[in-house]
Structures are given as C-alpha cells and as structure tokens.
Structure 1
C-alpha cells in the first residue's frame, strides 16, 4: 500500500525565511526519483533548484509560479510504495516489486536501496552514511502497456541536499552572483537571463547597472530588427491592425534625467523623515531694493541682480545662523555631518526635465556673484551642457516654483541634503502694513527639512530669519 508523504519547503540556510516559486519542474502524475529537482525557487540570495527527498508519484502541487512560500509550507505530496526490509545486511541490494503493476506484462519494475542518499536537506534528517544506493533501470522504459507508471518503491523518506543555485555563466557552471531582490525582479520583468550576464561588482556580483545595460542592449537590438524589417507588408497591414487592435496605454521608460530624478525623489521619501513649515512674507521692500540696485548699475553697469540671486544670498546668511540645515545624515554611522561650506543648488526646469545645478561656495559670494553664476548654469542647463560635477555636491537647495504661477508647495528634499526652501510667486495681495490695510507684494515661503538633523524650533528660526530679510532687506547688512 502506497504512503503519501508531504514535502515542505526546506530551510535553505543563511537565515532565509521565504522563497518565490519561479518554475515547477514536475507535473501531477509524474514519477520522481530521490534527489530529483522538483521546483526552482528564488530567495534573497540566489536561484535554487530544490530536490525532493522522496521517490514516487507526485499527487499534488501547492502554489503557482510567482507565489511566495514561507519555510515549512507544503510544496507537494508524493505517493511512495511500501517495501520489505532486506533479509541480510547486503551493502546496497534491497529490492521490491511494484504491487500495482504486477499483473501487466509491460509494467516496469524498480529496485532501490533502503539507505538514504547521504545528502542532507535541512529539516529532513540524513541517511545511514555507510549505505550506498544502486538503481537498476527497467529494460523497457518506453513500453506503453502499463496504464500509469508504477510508483518508485522506497522504505522511508530519504534525505537529500539542497544544491547551490547554479547555471551556465560565461560558458561554465557556477552560482548566479545576484544579491539584490530588486535586481532579480528587474531582470525578470524584462526577461533578462542573469546566468548570461557578467557582473561588474566585487567577485563578479551582478549589479543593477549590469541589468540596465542588458535591457538597453535588448531594446537596441529590437529597434534594429524593426528598422531592417520589410516595409511593404507593414504598410499593407497597418489599416487592419489599427482597426482591430484597441488603443494601448503609452509606456514611457524612466531613464536618463527623468529616471535619475525618480530614483532620487523616491529615495528621499523613503529615507528622510521630512516636515514642512511655511510663512507669508511681505516682499515689497525686497522688490524695491532690487530695483534700486539695478538702477544704480546704470544702462551698462553690469548684469542685473535677479530676485533668485537675492533669495540665494539670504539663504546663505540664514545657513550661517542655522548650520544644522546645511548638513547630511550618515545612516550607516548614525551621525549628523555638518558641512563646512554652502554649495547651493537651485531647481531649473528644462526640456529634458528638472535639473538642480549647484553654485559652488555660495557662502563666500555676494548677490551679484551668485546671480552671475546662476545665469551661467541656467544657460548650460537649457542647452544640455551641464557636466555631472555641476549637478552634484549640493548641500542646500532653493526651489523657485513661483515662476510656474503657483503660490505654495511642499518641496521634496534633494537627497542627501537636509533641507529645501521653496518660493512661490510674488503678487499683489491685501496686507496690513503699519496698522493699515494696503496692497503689498506678498510671497509664500516653504521650508521642508529633515527632522533628524533638527527640530521645529530650528527650522522655524531659519524660516523666520529668511522672511525677515525678505520684508526688511537691511537685516542683511549685518552679515555683508
């Protein structure tokens, strides 16, 4: 009489607690032998083909491809035939005939040793180390006379070992060197075979950049194939295809500038516990001071000072008072790193997307110098000629979204910085000035800050100082 045994997902080692079914290697009704791989799973470390410790007929499978299983969850059940113990302690020659196939002349017979394979599968014990197994294959495997294959006879569950996740890598058999689940998922989504990649990381580790390169190569090959395809059939079939196929959603790859922005903003939101405070300020006096500065320079007295340049100069003065906001957080060391200089980034919208050029050493520049550098970097951004060095290394960002005609926003911090000041549009609004209602030029200022580097009191003090300088530019004279 056959015994139905349950094979559960074993402990695959290294502290792993779950795995995802990638591919079933057997179907219900298949005959499996001891140590035969039955399912391919993916863990946080590698792809693993899991062998079954029992020999017999698969009676049930649990879970579809793509589903996740915890360690200890049933994978499949196997019907194992009964057997008699050997009469003598021969090294490897216990045998038994299949009871269900005895009446059929063509039914195959199988002989298996009563000892385990000697391998170890965590959670399934081990066989006697001295015993060895010898399989005698049937003479007529392909004979169709039997209605169903007879179950492989085994005396008891036999332990086996989990093989390393192997595959053909560069023409040789070896482990697939992937650690990141994100890298494996990205490869799966784009049908990239990781066994065909050469990793650029330490010890051949496959990194996300390696998968991205493989995706680009595959897309370029597809585009090249499309260009070389015959044109006439495509033209002839176009009306039918358009008429028959429904409109599909447009899919835009997150690559280039847009991809870099998406990665940085996502990382900011996931890593930085940010908070935002804001205040309305009367910018009438600031606008008057700017007009006076530009008038004093005369028709040919040099470049005009922009409002953004004045706000940038105000930011550097505020950061000198509140250096906590000119810092970053070393998460590995659990330390706040206060930076010695201010490299001021400013958001610039271009045809290629949002970029943040950086004004180096803004803390030692005056408003005119900052304005000239902003103008130079903005022109490079518009023509797409900014170098990577001009887009990195910022310590604080100024975002003037008022140019888009909006009043306020809650900026997302430019990781790994600690704060960003947002500036809305400056427009006439009713305002109480000197005890009377008047029409004044009002602007909303928003400060988003990393709550790990400071508390609300520091952030509020910084924003209030900026607002005071906007309302009374003479306050800046103390720091000039």
Structure 2
C-alpha cells in the first residue's frame, strides 16, 4: 500500500510569508524523484524553483498558476512506494507509481537544499478507460482529502460528450455559483480541459453584456415614439474600460517599500551638473590598456559605484539607517551597494556585498553577474536584501534628471542621468563637453544639507577630475 505524503510550501527565508505560483513543473500522475523541482514560485524577493523532498507519484496538485499560497499551505501530495495501480489508494487520485530508490524522502524542505540525486524520468500514468457501454451514472468526484482542495474530476455529459471532464477548484466554483454560471456549459482552456478562473471571468463578462443588451432592448420597446428635431452630440465618447493588475510578488513588494519610504522618511533632494568628459576619457584609457583579451571592460556604472564608496568613507552619515523604535541613528561600517535594475517583473535592487573593499573592476564584474541573474529571474532573496546605499542609473532610459525615492530602510540614494554633449564653460571658454546631472535624495534625519551637499560635491569633483579619487585609493 502506497503512503500518501503531503508537501507544503516551505519557509523560503528572509521573513517571507507567502509566494505566488508562477508555473507548475509536474502534473498529476507524474513520477518525481527526491528533491526534484516541482513548482516555480515568485516571492516578494525573487523567483525560485521549489524541490519536493519525496519521491513517488504526484496524486494531487493544489492551486492554479497565479494563485498565492502562505508558507505551510499544501502544494501537492505524493504517493510514496506505489508499485502498480492496485497499490494506490482511492485518495491517490487513481495514480500509480514505479518504486523509486530511496523513496521515503530527503527531509529537505528549504529552497536550494537537496541531496543532489539525479532526477528520475517523469512519467504520466493514466487510469485505464472503461470501454464497455453503460448508461450515464451520477457524477462522481474524486479528490485528495486536503485543504485547499485539489482539482477534481467529474464524470458525466458536458458539452455533448461523455467521459471524465475537469472540474475547477472551490474558489472558481464559488465564483461561478455567485454569478449563476453553469460550469458544465463551459469549455476549459487549461490542460486537459481544466476550467480556469479566466474561463469563468469570460463567461461572467459575456453574461453581463448579454444582460445589458436585453435590458436596453426591453427599455427601447417600452418607450413611446416621440418626434423631435435632430440633435448633434458633441464630445461623446465610448465608455472607458479599466484593467486591474494585482500588486503582488516583486511588484507588490516594491510598491510596499516605496510607500513606506514616502510615509516614514523625511527626504530632501539636491542635484548638480558635472562635466564627465575626463571621466569618460579615463574609462576609455583603462579599457584600451587592458587590450583585446585583457579582461572585462570597466563600465561607467562601476566607476560611479567606486566613487560612491569613496564618498561614503568621507561622509559615513549617509551609510546609515534609522531605528525608529529606539530613536537612534545606526551608522553602518560596511558598504553594501545596491543598484536599481529594471526587469520584466519590475524594478529590483541587487546588492554588491562589501563594495568598500572592491576596486572598480571587481564592482563591475559583480554588477554584470547580478544583472544577468536579475534578467533571468534567478536572484536569491539574500542577493536582494541588506543594502546600505543605492545607486540608480536612470540615464539608461534617456532622461537627464530625477528625484529618487530612498530604498527603505537606507538613508540615501544617488541618481545618475544620461551623459550627453552640452555647451559648457571649460577653462574660461565655451566648449562642448560630456555633461551629466547627479541627484542625491537623503534622509534629513541622519544629516543636514551641508553633509549631503558635501557628499554630492565630492562625487561631482571625482567625475570632473578622476585624479581626485586617486588620493583615496
């Protein structure tokens, strides 16, 4: 007799309490190995694959893609030790499994932990169909005894055909019941005809449109015909429609952090234009000296990051945070430099650890590595937390200036606009120079304008005369 084990959403660390299902990697009936990834979830920090600590046959799967689950909620059930169809209990959704070596489970439930065992071949095992003809029986529902309820299968005639059809989860069934939608008249767009929430939402819209047309026709028929002079309507427009986008996952976390920053931090912004011609020339010289195969090129962002670490050494007030409960300013000794990165899932801020101990080349290599992980959605929660100061290069979007919002709970953020040729007075003469606007938003609780202005002026001086930075290297 197979033992059915329930795998729950594990603690993902970093204080995360919930996750959104992005993509299922297994289906009911698949054979899974110990520590094989079974679902891809998105947390407020990153997107991760969750491995299952059990080996066996997937007998039930809870939740649809796009639904949110709290830590500890059931994800799926696995029949461990099943060898054939007869050994699987009715609670196993009729699935059978091949016996797997070491089938009890690894015991590892945290993301990123596992035994390293090779993944077994996934195999879908379907129950044999009854080929004998029989009168339609009353619908029978088979599901695993767990909450939230898994997708069940009902038997009966739907859309003119006999046989098993997909029945939706309790959430979608309740939505259909509230709007008086007959599920047996719908054709599911999910795998194997599974009725998804989107199918029910479409049916609700169609029913609403049909009801509106019927009501309008009845009202027109009831109104008396009155002759009137023709009128001209000016400025009429079609009714506006709206789309609702849930604030969850990475975008929801960003929204919460920005709102908290605006609510808690009394921020102020100062800015300055700087002549970056010499900085660009120094960068070109560095990259030319490295030669065709002399290593990676040094980016402008890496140089600016190195300038920031030097400036923070001079003005440590800006490398701090405020403990509101204790009413204390906490000065931080190390610089963990965050940098804003735009991805398809929203804005993220990867963190370069111990940036104060790195040179420009090392910082640039780490920025490139973290940026690639951000683009592919593979940043871990630890790589997105713990920053003490943030550098925001919004010049990549083709804009000159901005007033950044501080990345709570940090105390300051440096914004960098695009570097572009502009008329500039250089050595007493008008010339075309490469000019950039720098803006510093700072928490006015940790310092006054003199400190913030001194920090920004030092950064601008290093941009205009990179030799100034050599004194601190």
TM-score (structure 2 length as normaliser): 0.51
After the TM superposition, which of the residue ranges 30-39 and 433-442 deviates more from structure 2?
30-39
CA distance in 1, matches of 2:241, 2:404: 33
Inter-partner Cα distance in structure 2 for 1:58 and 1:326: 50
* SS class of match (2:268): strand
Deviates more, 1:307-316 or 1:24-33: 24-33
In 1, distance between residues paired with 2:217 and 2:112?
51
1:223 partnered with 2:215: yes
1:68 maps to which residue?
68
Q: Which moved more, 1:402-411 or 1:149-158?
A: 149-158
CA positional deviation for 1:78? 61
Deviations 1:105-145 (A, max 9, x none): 999x9999999999999999999999999999999999999
How far apart are 1:210 and its partner, in Å?
27
- Contact kept? 2:19, 2:249, Cα under 8 Å: no
Q: Does the CA contact (< 8 Å) of 2:82 and 2:97 recur in 1?
A: no
Indicate conservation of the 8 Å contact 1:5/1:77, yes or no: yes
Q: 1:161-211: CA deviations, max 9, x gaps? A: 99xx99999999999999999999999999999999999999999999999
| Superposition deviation, residue 417 in structure 1 | 0.1
Contact 1:283/1:441 (<8 A) preserved:
yes
Change (3 A) 1:247 1:435: closer
Distance 2:31 2:118 in 1: 26
Any conservation in 2 of the 1:408–1:444 contact (CA below 8 Å)? yes
Judge conservation of contact 2:30–2:122 (CA < 8 Å) in 1: no
- Residue by residue over 1:300-321, the C-alpha shift from the partner in whole angstroms, topping out at 9 and shown as x without a partner, is 0000000000000000000000
* Farther-moved stretch of structure 1 (188-197 vs 448-457): 188-197
CA distance in 1, matches of 2:336, 2:207: 40
Q: Check the 8 A contact 1:290/1:307 in 2, yes or no.
A: yes
Structure 2: where are the runs of 5+ without partners?
none
User: Structure 1, unaligned stretches of length 5 or more?
Assistant: 85-96
Change (3 A) 1:247 1:5: same
Q: Are the aligned partners of 2:340 and 2:392 in contact in 1 as well (CA < 8 Å)?
A: yes
**Root mean square deviation of aligned Cα:** 19.8
Per-residue deviation, 1:388: 0.3
Distance 1:187 1:317, change over 3 A: farther
Distance 1:20 1:296, change over 3 A: closer
- Given the superposition, is the C-alpha separation of residues 326 and 212 from structure 1 closer, same or farther in structure 2, using an over 3 Å criterion? farther
Question: Match for 2:372 among 366, 369, 379?
Answer: 379
| Aligned CA distance change for structure 1 residues 348 and 10 (closer, same or farther; 3 Å) | closer
Higher alpha-carbon deviation: 348-357 or 143-152: 143-152
Q: 1:341 to 1:79 in 2, by over 3 A?
A: closer
In structure 2, distance between residues paired with 1:227 and 1:386: 58
Q: Distance in 1 between the 2:66 and 2:463 partners?
A: 58
Check conservation: 1:405, 1:425, Cα contact below 8 A: yes
- Contact 1:81–1:153 (CA under 8 A) maintained in structure 2: no
Distance 1:77 1:228, change over 3 A: farther
Query: Mean Cα displacement is larger for which, 184-193 or 17-26?
Result: 17-26
Q: 1:314 to 1:170 in 2, by over 3 A?
A: farther
Segment drifting more, 212-221 vs 275-284: 212-221
Q: CA separation in 1, counterparts of 2:379 and 2:120?
A: 71
Q: Choose from 235, 239, 251 the match for 1:242.
A: 235
Moved more, 439-448 or 98-107: 98-107
What is the CA–CA distance in structure 1 between the aligned matches of 2:59 and 2:380, rounded to whole Å? 63
Q: 1:33 to 1:327 in 2, by over 3 A?
A: closer
Q: Name the SS for the 2:230 alignment partner.
A: helix
Alpha-carbon deviation of 1:248?
3.2
Which structure has the larger Rg over C-alpha atoms? 1
Could you tell me whether the CA contact under 8 Å between 2:399 and 2:418 is conserved in 1?
Answer: yes
What is the CA–CA distance in structure 2 between the aligned matches of 1:127 and 1:291, rounded to whole Å?
A: 45
The aligned counterpart of 1:114 is: 101
- Looking at structure 1, the residues matched to 297 and 373 of structure 2 have their Cα atoms a distance apart, in angstroms, of 19
Change (3 A) 1:470 1:128: closer
1:62, 1:305 → 2: CA distance? 48
CA deviations on 1:135-161 (whole Å, 9 max, x unpaired) are: 999999999999999999999999999
Supply the distance in 1 between the matched residues of 2:93 and 2:342 (Cα, whole angstroms).
82
Distance 1:177 1:405, change over 3 A: same
Task: Tell me which moved more, 436-445 or 141-150.
Answer: 141-150
1:450 to 440, 443, 447: 443
CA contact (8 A) 1:31 1:151 kept: no
Contact 1:9 1:71 in 2 (8 A): yes
SS at match of 2:229: helix
In structure 2, distance between residues paired with 1:268 and 1:321: 25
Structure 1 residue 456, shift from structure 2 partner = 0.1
| Map of 2:143 onto structure 1 | 153
Q: Which moved more, 1:194-203 or 1:130-139?
A: 130-139
Evaluate the alpha carbon distance shift between residue 49 and residue 180 of structure 1 in structure 2; reply closer, same or farther with a 3 A threshold. Answer: farther
- 1:322, distance to aligned residue in structure 2 (A): 0.1
Residue 23 of structure 1 aligns to a residue in which SS?
strand
Over 3 Å counting, the alpha-carbon distance change for 1:426 and 1:128 in structure 2 is closer
Query: Alignment length, in residue pairs?
Result: 464
293-302 or 37-46, larger mean C-alpha shift: 37-46
TM-superposed deviation, 1:30:
61
Cα distance in 1 for partners of 2:91, 2:378 equals: 84
- Residue-by-residue CA offset, 1:76-110 (whole Å, 9 max, x unaligned): 999999999xxxxxxxxxxxx99999999999x99
